[in-house]
């Protein structure tokens, strides 16, 4: 039985380790070790996984079934002990890589990544396959990681070729969490034929390759660039829609109806809807990896990525539009009871990293509003730990309701109970047509970022 180590039990690694541990014909196909850091957060994940509790809340109905199947694999466990790297046939690294600085001079601290691969290459077996799923600046594998591995192989007197694959994750937490691993396209690049064969041997079992064949690129840099470019495209699309949303709102046009007519054309079916803003771990930073790579890895000086950088700035400013609508409703927010529905960056997940809701919450706190946070997926808000998270609230006692996240549970709220003077603001297309109809019938003031016609 082949031994797989999945390093990092975050949104990517936890579900990936679970899927691999659940692979079975007559017997389980792999022994799997989930490797986490020896810190409070890492130890908590290890404890949960080993106790049969998935560490991330999810609305995906498939996850429970897959995790239960994996739990029955007696060769599946999680640890912080590094000696598991010495026994691995395959090591999959899913650790995060953060970016800082501004859009013109982004900074990437590669030292943790370097230390990690220095450690791995000192312990891994010579014929072990190392898969990098971390999103990295283009050029990282060939210019940063390969030299580290080569150096340690030389010290260990290992003369065999390095078996390295870059295959970026496309994990989508939410209702399609498991499917984003098993039923989605997978891109990769391999250091040699042996690496390719080993990679295909595992990932052809993970991924439904009949519908989603593995897609191979010639170089690590092409694979790295694919992830950065696809996320940049999405970030630019969102920024583009934001300026049109503002035009439509100020002109009292319904942008949702306009987009419906545009999407009928197959060539325009993927145009995005406007929203509160961009959040999460990918779209907020990935476009800047290209800026960093361009300057710091490849030393190019002719391409400034002006379009991509502008999109980042526009996306960061998006919550300001909704905040402006909120601020216009009262001269004084003191003692006003305001309910903010949704703290996560996306619907039906429990991830609050770079959530646009944080901007609204901070503004309302500064305005001295009596703020209530409602989020059915959260127990605590890591970025704003002093705020209590509620699962439900009596909307009849609120002065203002602000809907920031499209959690499915919010679509079931009965607005027949709201009082006459309650103001409702839909900052992210959260409410259904029926909910909006009820609100209007009760003559409540209703504001939506997608249509200023609601006030007519």
**391-450 pLDDT, tens digit each:** 999 999 999 999 999 999 999 999 998 988 999 999 999 999 999 999 999 999 999 987
Instruction: Express the helix, strand and coil content of the chain in percent, nearest 5 each.
Output: 40, 15, 45
Task: Please state the domain count of the chain.
Answer: 2
Within this chain, do residues 282 and 380 fall inside the same structural domain, yes or no?
Answer: yes
Cα(308)–Cα(315) distance, integer angstroms: 11
Note whether residue 42 is domain-resident: yes
Tell me how far apart the alpha carbons of residues 277 and 359 are, in angstroms, rounded to a whole number: 10
Asked if residue 240 lies in contact with residue 312, where contact means CB atoms within 8 angstroms, the answer is: no
Mean pLDDT within 94-106: 90
d(CA 452, CA 444): 15
Q: In whole angstroms, give the CA distance from residue 243 to residue 352.
A: 25
Contact 106, 291 (CB under 8 A): yes
pLDDT of residue 452: 65
Residues 105 and 161 in one domain: yes
Predicted confidence at residue 456, as pLDDT, reads: 47
- Average of per-residue pLDDT values in the chain: 93
Residues 87 and 199 reside in one and the same domain? yes
Q: Which residue range(s) make up the domain with 341? A: 251-456
10 Å CB burial of residue 85 (0-12, 13-18, 19+) is: buried
- Please give the angle made by the CA atoms of 387, 391 and 397, to the nearest 5 degrees: 85
Residue 383 lies in a domain: yes
Q: Are residue 134 and residue 260 in the same domain, yes or no?
A: no
pLDDT at position 19: 98
Q: In this structure, is residue 442 part of a structural domain?
A: yes
Would residue 274 count as lying in a domain?
A: yes
* One domain, residues 274 and 377: yes
User: Which CATH number belongs to the domain containing residue 257 in this structure?
Assistant: 3.40.50.720
Does residue 238 lie in a domain region? Answer: no
Residue among 148, 308, 297 nearest 230 (CA): 308
| DSSP secondary structure code for residue 142 in this structure | I
Residues 155 and 279 in one domain: no
For the cut 90, the answer to whether the pLDDT of residue 300 exceeds it is no
**Is 189 found in the same domain as 304?**
no
Only one residue has tokens 């290890």, namely 46
With respect to residue 234, please indicate whether it lies within any of the assigned structural domains.
no
What's the pLDDT at 304?
A: 84
């Amino acid at each position: 039985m082949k031994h797989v180590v999945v390093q990092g039990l975050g949104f990517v690694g936890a579900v990936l380790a679970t899927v691999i541990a659940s692979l079975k014909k007559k017997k389980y196909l792999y022994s799997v070790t989930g490797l986490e850091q020896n810190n409070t957060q890492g130890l908590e994940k290890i404890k949960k996984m080993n106790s049969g509790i998935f560490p991330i809340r999810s609305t995906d109905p498939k996850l429970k079934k897959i995790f239960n199947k994996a739990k029955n694999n007696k060769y599946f466990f999680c640890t912080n002990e590094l000696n598991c790297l010495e026994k691995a046939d395959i090591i999959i690294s899913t650790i995060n890589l953060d970016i800082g600085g501004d859009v013109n001079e982004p900074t990437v601290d590669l030292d943790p990544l370097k230390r990690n691969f220095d450690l791995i290459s000192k312990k891994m077996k010579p014929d072990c396959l190392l898969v990098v799923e971390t999103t990295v600046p283009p050029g990282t594998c060939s210019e940063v990681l390969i030299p580290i591995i080569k150096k340690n192989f030389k010290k260990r007197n290992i003369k065999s070729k390095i078996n390295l694959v870059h295959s970026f994750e496309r994990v989508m937490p939410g209702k399609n969490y498991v499917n984003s691993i098993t039923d989605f396209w997978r891109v990769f690049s391999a250091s040699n034929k042996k690496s390719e064969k080993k990679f295909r041997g595992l990932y052809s079992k993970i991924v439904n390759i009949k519908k989603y064949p593995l897609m191979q690129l010639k170089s690590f840099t092409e694979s790295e660039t694919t992830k950065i470019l696809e996320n940049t495209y999405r970030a630019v699309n969102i920024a583009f829609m934001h300026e049109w949303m503002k035009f439509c709102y100020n002109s009292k046009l319904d942008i949702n109806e306009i987009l419906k007519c545009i999407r009928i054309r197959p060539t325009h079916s993927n145009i995005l809807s406007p929203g509160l803003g961009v959040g999460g771990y990918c779209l907020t930073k990935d476009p800047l990896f290209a800026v960093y790579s361009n300057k710091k890895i490849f030393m190019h000086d002719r391409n400034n990525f002006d379009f991509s950088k502008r999109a980042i700035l526009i996306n960061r400013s998006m919550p300001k539009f909704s905040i402006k609508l909120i601020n216009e409703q009262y001269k004084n927010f003191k003692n006003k009871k305001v309910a903010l529905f949704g703290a996560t960056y996306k619907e039906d997940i429990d991830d609050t990293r770079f959530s646009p809701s944080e901007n609204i919450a901070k503004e309302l706190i500064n305005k001295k509003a009596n703020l209530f946070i409602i989020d059915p997926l959260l127990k605590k808000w890591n970025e704003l730990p002093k705020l209590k998270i509620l699962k439900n609230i009596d909307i009849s006692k609120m002065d203002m309701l602000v809907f920031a996240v499209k959690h499915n549970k919010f679509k079931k709220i009965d607005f027949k109970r709201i009082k006459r003077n309650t103001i409702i603001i839909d900052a992210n297309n959260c409410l259904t047509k029926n909910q909006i109809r009820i609100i209007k019938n009760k003559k409540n003031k209703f504001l939506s970022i997608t249509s200023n016609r609601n006030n007519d």
